[in-house]
C-alpha cells in the first residue's frame, strides 16, 4: 500500500470512468472542484504512474492513459484503477529507493548500514541520497506491510525479503494458489490485497522455468471501480475503529455538484468548498453488494448516529482515542438502531409481506432458494403449490425495495398498503417505457 494520500487521484479516476471521457477539460474541472491547471497536472501525474507500472512491457503492449480509461475501459479484463495502489503514489526518490532495497535483500540478509551504502552507490545522480534516518524509516515501513522481516539475533539487525511463500511452494502448488487468489480477489470483499497477491503469484509463475505452460484460466470484468478505490479509506478507518480513535475528514455528499476541492495554500486563492468538515467516532463499515458501495457509520456529539458514503470522504486524519467504555456504549447504540436495517436504514420500523410465485416448469425452485439465501432474518409464513408468503420486519422500505423489485413478476408486495401502492406506480411507469412509439 502506498504511503501518501491520493484523494484527488481517486476522485479524478472515479469521475473519468463514470463519464467515459464525455466531459471537456473545463466541465471536468468544474465538476471535480479543481482548476483546469490542476486537471492538466493530475493527468500528467497519472500518466507517469501508468508508465511506471507498465514500464517493463514491450512497446506494442504499453498503455496510453487517456485511451486506456476513455476508450478501452469496457474491453479490459483487468481492474485498471488498481494501479494507484502500486508503487507510484510515492515520490520518485522513494519509488527508486524502495526498489533498490528490495532488490538488495532478495539474495541475502543485509544490515541497515550495508543497505545505505548500496543506495549511495546505485541511486541516480538526479535523485537525493538518503540519510540513515530516512533508510531506517523505509525499513520500518516495509516491515510493517510484511514485505521484509528482521532476522533473529542482536544488533546490528539484518533484514531479508519475506518471500518464503514463493520459495517453499512447488510450481503446481503456486498454480493452485494463483487460481484461488484470482477467484477470491474478484468475487469477495475486500479485494485489493487479493489483487496484489494474485499479481505477485502471476509474476513468480511467468518467471519460472515452466513459463510457457502457464495460462490465465479465468477472465473477469469488474463493474464496481469505486469499491476498489474506496478500499484506500477502508483500511484507514478499520484501524481507527480498532484503536477507538476519532477521525476528521472533508465530506462531499452525493447531492453536491463537486466531489473534491484543491488545498489552496495561498490566501489570495482561498475559496469556499462544497464539502463539509466532519468529526466522527467511526464504529462500523458496511458494504452494499447490490450497488458496490461502502458506507461509514459512526457517532457524533451533536447528531448521534451518522452515515456517510465512502466515495465522498477525503482528507482523513486520525484524532485522539476515546475510552473503551464510551466506544462500547456508542457501538451498542448503533447496533440497536440498525438491528432491523436491511442495510443501514434507521427509519421507522415496518412489517413487509410479499408473495413469491414458484417458477413454472422448472426442476428447481430457484425463487425460493434465492429468498432463503438473501432474505436475512425474514421468514416464510404461508406456502402452497403456487406461491409462498415471505414476511420481514425492517427499518423503512427504501433499502428492501430494489431486492423485491429484482424478482419481477415472481414477487407481489402485499403489505404495508402504502408500499404496495408505491410499487404499483413504479411498475406502471416502467410499463410506459415499453409502449409502442
**Cell 421507522 maps to which residue?**
348
pLDDT score for 25:
79
- Of the segments 33-37, 163-167, 267-271, 365-369, which one has the largest average pLDDT value? 365-369
Q: In this predicted structure, which of 18-27, 66-75, 356-365 has the lowest mean pLDDT?
A: 66-75
Q: Worst-scoring range by mean pLDDT, 88-102, 196-210, 227-241, 283-297?
A: 88-102
pLDDT at 369: 94
Count of all residues that appear for the chain in the document = 437
The overall average pLDDT reported for the chain is 79
**Phi, psi (deg, nearest 5) at residue 353:** -120, 130
Alpha-carbon gap, residue 238 to 356, rounded angstroms: 39
Query: pLDDT of 157-172, one tens digit each?
Result: 888 887 777 777 888 8
Q: What is the pLDDT at residue 98?
A: 76
Sheet holding 148-150, edge to edge: 110-111, 158-161, 148-150
Q: How far is CA 128 from the centre of its chain?
A: 34
* Of 187-196, 257-266, 334-343, 387-396, minimum mean pLDDT range: 257-266
Instruction: Give me the residue label for grid cell 541520497.
Output: 129
The reported pLDDT for the residue numbered 93 is 65
pLDDT range class, residue 400, cuts 50, 70, 90: very high
Domains contained in the chain, CATH given: 1-162 (1.10.10.10), 166-213 (no CATH), 228-334 (no CATH), 349-433 (3.30.70)
pLDDT of residue 59: 43
Of 75-89, 189-203, 313-327, the poorest mean pLDDT is in 75-89
Asked whether residue 211 carries a pLDDT value surpassing 70, the answer given is: no
Mean pLDDT of 358-370: 90
**pLDDT tens sequence across 43-91:** 777 776 666 555 444 443 444 554 555 444 444 445 555 655 554 445 5
Rounded mean pLDDT of 2-15?
Answer: 68
Q: How confident is the model at residue 367 (pLDDT cuts 50, 70, 90)?
A: very high
| Percent residues over pLDDT 90 in the chain | 29
Most confidently modeled range among 50-64, 106-120, 247-261: 106-120
User: What pLDDT score was predicted for residue 71?
Assistant: 45
Question: What per-residue confidence (pLDDT) applies to 269?
Answer: 43
Q: Give kind and range of the element (H or E) at residue 136.
A: helix 132-144
How many CB atoms sit inside 10 A of residue 309's CB?
17
What would the pLDDT profile of 275-296 be if each residue is shown by its tens digit?
688 899 999 999 888 777 889 9
* Side-chain-side CA neighbours of residue 234 (13 Å): 18
Asked which of 154-158, 403-407, 426-430 is least confident by mean pLDDT, the reply is 154-158
Whether the predicted pLDDT of 174 surpasses 70:
yes
Residue 81: per-residue pLDDT: 54
Q: Report the chain's C-alpha Rg in angstroms.
A: 26
Say yes or no to pLDDT of 206 above 80.
no
Strand extents, DSSP E, 204-274 = 245-251
For position 344, what pLDDT does the model report?
92
Q: What percent of the chain has pLDDT over 70?
A: 78
The pTM of this model reads 0.70
The C-alpha atoms of residue 422 and residue 33 are separated, in whole angstroms, by 37
- Residue, of 365 and 28, whose pLDDT is higher: 365
CA distance 199 to 216: 12
Position 408 pLDDT exceeds 60: yes
User: What does the pLDDT read at residue 75?
Assistant: 47
pLDDT number for residue 229: 74
Amino acid at each position: 500500500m502506498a504511503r501518501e494520500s491520493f484523494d484527488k487521484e481517486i476522485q479524478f479516476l472515479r469521475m473519468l470512468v463514470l463519464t467515459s471521457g464525455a466531459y471537456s477539460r473545463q466541465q471536468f474541472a468544474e465538476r471535480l472542484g479543481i482548476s483546469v491547471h490542476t486537471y492538466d497536472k493530475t493527468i500528467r501525474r497519472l500518466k507517469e504512474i501508468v508508465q511506471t507500472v507498465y514500464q517493463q512491457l514491450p512497446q506494442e503492449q504499453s498503455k496510453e492513459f487517456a485511451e486506456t480509461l476513455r476508450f478501452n475501459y469496457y474491453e479490459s479484463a483487468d481492474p485498471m484503477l488498481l494501479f494507484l495502489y502500486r508503487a507510484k503514489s510515492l515520490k520518485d526518490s522513494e519509488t527508486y529507493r524502495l526498489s533498490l532495497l528490495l532488490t538488495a535483500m532478495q539474495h541475502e540478509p543485509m544490515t541497515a548500514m550495508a543497505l545505505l551504502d548500496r543506495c549511495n552507490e546505485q541511486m541516480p545522480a538526479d535523485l537525493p541520497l538518503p540519510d540513515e534516518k530516512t533508510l531506517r524509516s523505509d525499513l520500518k515501513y516495509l516491515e510493517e506491510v510484511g514485505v521484509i522481516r528482521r532476522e533473529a539475533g542482536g544488533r546490528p539487525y539484518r533484514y531479508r525479503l519475506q518471500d518464503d511463500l514463493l520459495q517453499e511452494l512447488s510450481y503446481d502448488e503456486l498454480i493452485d494458489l494463483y487460481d484461488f487468489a484470482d477467484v477470491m480477489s474478484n468475487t469477495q470483499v475486500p479485494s485489493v490485497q487479493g489483487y496484489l497477491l494474485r499479481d505477485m503469484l502471476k509474476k513468480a509463475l511467468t518467471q519460472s522455468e515452466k513459463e510457457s505452460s502457464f495460462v490465465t484460466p479465468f477472465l473477469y470484468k469488474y463493474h464496481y471501480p469505486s469499491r476498489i478505490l474506496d478500499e484506500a479509506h477502508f483500511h484507514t478507518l478499520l484501524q481507527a475503529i480498532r484503536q477507538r480513535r476519532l477521525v476528521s475528514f472533508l465530506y462531499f455528499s452525493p447531492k453536491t455538484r463537486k466531489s473534491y476541492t484543491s488545498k489552496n495554500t495561498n490566501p489570495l486563492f482561498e475559496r469556499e468548498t462544497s464539502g463539509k468538515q466532519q468529526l466522527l467516532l467511526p464504529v462500523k463499515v458496511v458494504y452494499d453488494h447490490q450497488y458496490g458501495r461502502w458506507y461509514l457509520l459512526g457517532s457524533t456529539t451533536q447528531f448521534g448516529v451518522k452515515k456517510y458514503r465512502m466515495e465522498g470522504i477525503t482528507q482523513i486524519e486520525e484524532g485522539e482515542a476515546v475510552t473503551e467504555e464510551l466506544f462500547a456504549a456508542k457501538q451498542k447504540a448503533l447496533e440497536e438502531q440498525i438491528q432491523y436495517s436491511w442495510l443501514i436504514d434507521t427509519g421507522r420500523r415496518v412489517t413487509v409481506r410479499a408473495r413469491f410465485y414458484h417458477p413454472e416448469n422448472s426442476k428447481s425452485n430457484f425463487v425460493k432458494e434465492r429468498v432463503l439465501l438473501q432474505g436475512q432474518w425474514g421468514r416464510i409464513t404461508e406456502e402452497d403449490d403456487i406461491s409462498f408468503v415471505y414476511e420481514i420486519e425492517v427499518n423503512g422500505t427504501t433499502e428492501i425495495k430494489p431486492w423485491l423489485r429484482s424478482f419481477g413478476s415472481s414477487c407481489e408486495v402485499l403489505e404495508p398498503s402504502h408500499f404496495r401502492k408505491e410499487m404499483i406506480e413504479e411498475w406502471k411507469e416502467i410499463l410506459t417505457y415499453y409502449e409502442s412509439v
